[in-house]
Structure 1
Amino acid sequence: MKSPCIDICKFDGRTGWCVACGRTKEECRGWKKAPRPRLISLSAELPRRLAKLAARDAG
């Protein structure tokens, strides 16, 4: 499964999520070795994380 990384790699201090892709540093490091069901689950979660970061920044 293709990585959601867009080579910005800046992590939010509160959540630990990358502001570009929504993953944590640990999730980024383990992406290539993670089982497919975990990648699917995480991929479904990333848009919610990014929306939460955007809403917090907008408010």
Structure 2
Amino acid sequence: MSDQDRPANSVRTPCIQVCIVDGESGLCMGCFRRLNEVASWSKMTPEARDTVMAELPSRRSLIRPEKLAMFS
């Protein structure tokens, strides 16, 4: 669902419904959020969510590439 199709009261999320936590980094291998971020996402302020969203691309490098290859 694109942001344009999303209801106005829904929260934007990086979730791609690949919910597997990497034991080494503690990050979800689908969206690269930490478990506490996933759990509190809907309660976070928009600014806090934007901060996390900005960090997500760089977090990918914290997971070994061979693990991520499972999802390619």
Per the TM alignment, residue 50 of structure 1 is displaced from its structure 2 partner at its CA by: 1.2
Distance in 1 separating the partners of 2:46 and 2:34: 18
1:30 aligns to 2:44 (yes or no): no
Give the length in aligned residue pairs. Answer: 56
TM-score (structure 1 length as normaliser): 0.82
Identity of matched residues, %: 34
Structure with bigger helix share is 1
Q: Which runs of 5+ in 1 are unaligned?
A: none
Instruction: Kindly name which structure, 1 or 2, has the bigger radius of gyration based on alpha carbons.
Output: 2
User: Is 2:16–2:31's contact at 8 Å kept on the other side of the alignment?
Assistant: yes
Q: Which runs of 5+ in 2 are unaligned?
A: 1-10, 67-72
TM-score (structure 2 length as normaliser): 0.69
Could you say which structure has the greater relative contact order, defined with CA pairs below 8 angstroms and 6 or more residues apart? 1
**Map of 1:41 onto structure 2:** 51
RMSD: 1.3
Following superposition, which runs of at least 4 residues in structure 1 exceed 4 angstroms of deviation?
none
